[in-house]
Structure 1
Amino acid sequence: MPVNLLGRRLPPPLTALDPSQLSGLLQLCAIDPVAGVSLAHQVLRWPAWARGDVVADDRWRPAAGAWATGSLMPFGLAPRPALGHPGAGDYVARALAEHTYKRLTSHGSVAGPAQDVEAVWEHLAAAGMHSREERWEQPLLVVPQSDGGTLAGAALSRRPGLAWAAAGVHLATPEEEALVLPASVDMFTGELGYDPTTSGSSYARHVNWLVASGRSYVLLDDGAGGPSAPGAAASGGVAVAFKVDVGSLWQRPGGSVAQLTGVWTRPDLRGRGIGTVALAAAVDAVRRDHVGADGYVSLYVNSFNAAGLGLYRSLGFSRVGTYATVLL
């Protein structure tokens, strides 16, 4: 155990939490719930975990915490003066890197608010951890809260001929999962550069969970960018035109937060406005189904994704922070 200059033992820099000890960690995430939703969602989603999967620098009043398994989600390491948060210091960041080093796996990641990722990645890299790609500029965006109207209505004022797309966005059903999985794989492969189904069935199980838990929204078309005919799904005469998932969800007093992931428009339909209208309708649906009119709907996007940034800007998303992802 480390000692200070007086030779006294310092307290352990990290404490392993169990699911009954989340109040302090959630209070920490609540200093910036839009940025903290990924960690809050992850620890609330799982009813149990192995010792060391969730760690913090203090059990009850942590300044920093993390989900640390095959991937790492840190939060709170860096100071946030505007929020009155002092950060946890380099001592804790180093300890988290040491704790996590052997837990991180190939095709894992270090992801979260950019300042926290930077604080821990410095030590992981110094210890010899190699990255496949580092994405340090991922704007964190949030859509304006509802003013009584709908986002789809505003989008349709510019694209009135796409009313069918707004009306067709719906929660994916178990019967549609066979259509959703290939679309999800195409999205993932384009985003991260490899097919997630080549390394086992975990990705298919994740898509199944999203569908089963009411987190996956889709738009089906006739395969050519037009509305699908009634009953066409049963005969196989439809395709997924658009999809988006609620990747993280934190239903909390003071403002629930949903973070969208997996935004995808079929390649042959891009540039036709279908994705814009469908995403607007999906945001309206997420408000209806998950966060309410006063909740927050957010997402983050790579800075090099000019088309995505343009789409989100057209719907009124505004930047509230920066995420970073280090791909391993």
Structure 2
Amino acid sequence: MLLDGRAGGRVLGDDDLAPALAVCAQDAVAAVLATTRVEAATRSGLRAAGGALWGFEQDGELLALCWAGANLVPVVPIAGGPVRERALDAFAMLARSQGRRCSSIVGDAPAVLGLWDRLRNAWPGARELRPDQPSMVIDHTPLVAPDTQVRRSRLDELDVVLPACIRMFTEEVGYSPASGPGGPYETRVHGLVAAGRSFVRLDERAGVRSHVVFKAELGAVAGGVAQVQGVWVTPERRGERLSERGMAAVVELTRAEVAPVVSLYVNSYNERALAAYRAVGFRQVGTYATVLF
């Protein structure tokens, strides 16, 4: 479906998934949020994938793409110049044509910020702009000893895992995602636990009500990259280096059983988190940005 031949932007179909994955593979860390959706579509088809996939072509070659679902995730691995600008123009035109349906624009900072510059006068204002989020990776053994009490969470622990996830989200984003049993956030957490992509350390001492001390999830896994999201330490235990040893455990388990490269992104002003991740062995390889609505 070609929306505008001059702009080169169109809605992609199932026949376009292989070249779309090739575009994502040009920068697997920057593209992992989109790649996980494209990989899912290769198994179930785009109709069942929960969103649409837009593409930008030039001379018949797919050069850039954008996942349009609950989040808008542009993947524009073009090193600047007029072609990159035309790709962002094409995605902005597609986004304006349907109106804002997403809760955020997120991904590689130059693409996100370039797309938002084109949409800010057409869409309602953003609730928050996070323009500088270091994108970090580790592809080797952690530099600190892992916390041996960190493990995958279990479905029979959802009664303590879900409240910790809600607290983390509320602290990070500014509002509670809870919507009751069977709600989208609750379903998302359930799915991560069921898939073995939720990690926790519980305080299970005798006489103490079991609760989460440390947690993290693999929010996106695709293209040989696992992106860690939702890292959280209960407030009364902060300052004990639980995040460092906890993340070391997550890295070890993930690299052994899920993907060889572990990534994450963090706000640049969160100096404590940046220091903890660097201590574990993460290094910055790029920059993400997020526009929250």
TM-score scaled by length of structure 1: 0.79
Q: Which residue of 2 aligns with 1:69?
A: 69
Structure 2 counterpart SS, 1:167? coil
Whole-angstrom distance in 2 between the partners of 1:104 and 1:282: 35
2:187 to 194, 201, 205: 205
Tell me the matched-pair count: 284
Q: Which has the larger radius of gyration?
A: 1
Whether 2:86 is the aligned partner of 1:104: answer no
What is the identity, as a one-letter code, of the residue corresponding to 2:216? V
Within 5 Å, which residues of 2 pair with 1:59-138?
A: 61-76=61-76, 79-80=78-79, 88-101=83-96, 102-105=98-101, 108-138=103-133
CA contact (8 A) 2:179 2:186 kept: no
Q: Which residue of 2 aligns with 1:269?
A: 237
Whole-angstrom distance in 1 between the partners of 2:11 and 2:31: 19
Residues 169-178 or 13-22, more deviating: 13-22
Whole-angstrom distance in 2 between the partners of 1:128 and 1:207: 30
TM-score scaled by length of structure 2: 0.88
Whole-angstrom distance in 2 between the partners of 1:61 and 1:216: 38
Whole-angstrom distance in 2 between the partners of 1:80 and 1:110: 20
Q: After superposition, what is the alpha-carbon deviation per residue over 1:34-62, rounded to whole angstroms, capped at 9, x for unaligned? A: 11111101222352344971111139731
- Which consecutive unaligned segments of at least 5 residues does structure 1 have? 3-8, 157-162, 223-227
Whole-angstrom distance in 1 between the partners of 2:135 and 2:6: 35
What is the identity, as a one-letter code, of the residue corresponding to 2:264? L
What is the identity, as a one-letter code, of the residue corresponding to 2:256? R
Q: After superposition, what is the alpha-carbon deviation per residue over 1:269-313, rounded to whole angstroms, capped at 9, x for unaligned? A: 11011221111111101111201xxx2111000011111111111
Structure 1 counterpart SS, 2:258? helix
Whole-angstrom distance in 2 between the partners of 1:207 and 1:20: 31
Choose between structure 1 and 2: higher strand proportion: 2
Structure 1 counterpart SS, 2:167? helix
- Which consecutive unaligned segments of at least 5 residues does structure 2 have? none
1:324 to 254, 271, 289: 289
Residues 53-62 or 122-131, more deviating: 53-62
How far off is 1:128 after superposition? 4.0
Whole-angstrom distance in 2 between the partners of 1:240 and 1:87: 50
| Change in 2 beyond 3 A, CA 1:285/1:96 | same
What is the identity, as a one-letter code, of the residue corresponding to 1:63? L
How far off is 1:201 after superposition? 0.9
Within 5 Å, which residues of 2 pair with 1:1-328?
A: 10-11=5-6, 13-46=8-41, 47-50=44-47, 53-58=52-57, 61-76=61-76, 79-80=78-79, 88-101=83-96, 102-105=98-101, 108-143=103-138, 145-146=139-140, 150-151=141-142, 154-156=143-145, 166-198=147-179, 201-222=183-204, 228=205, 237-250=209-222, 252=223, 256-291=224-259, 295-328=260-293
| Change in 2 beyond 3 A, CA 1:182/1:88 | farther
Whole-angstrom distance in 1 between the partners of 2:72 and 2:82: 18
CA contact (8 A) 1:79 1:87 kept: no
CA contact (8 A) 2:199 2:217 kept: yes
Q: After superposition, what is the alpha-carbon deviation per residue over 1:10-29, rounded to whole angstroms, capped at 9, x for unaligned? A: 45622222344211111111
Q: Aligned-residue CA RMSD in angstroms?
A: 2.6
Whole-angstrom distance in 2 between the partners of 1:40 and 1:241: 31
How far off is 1:103 after superposition? 4.7
Structure 1 counterpart SS, 2:185? helix
Whole-angstrom distance in 1 between the partners of 2:283 and 2:71: 28
CA contact (8 A) 1:139 1:301 kept: yes
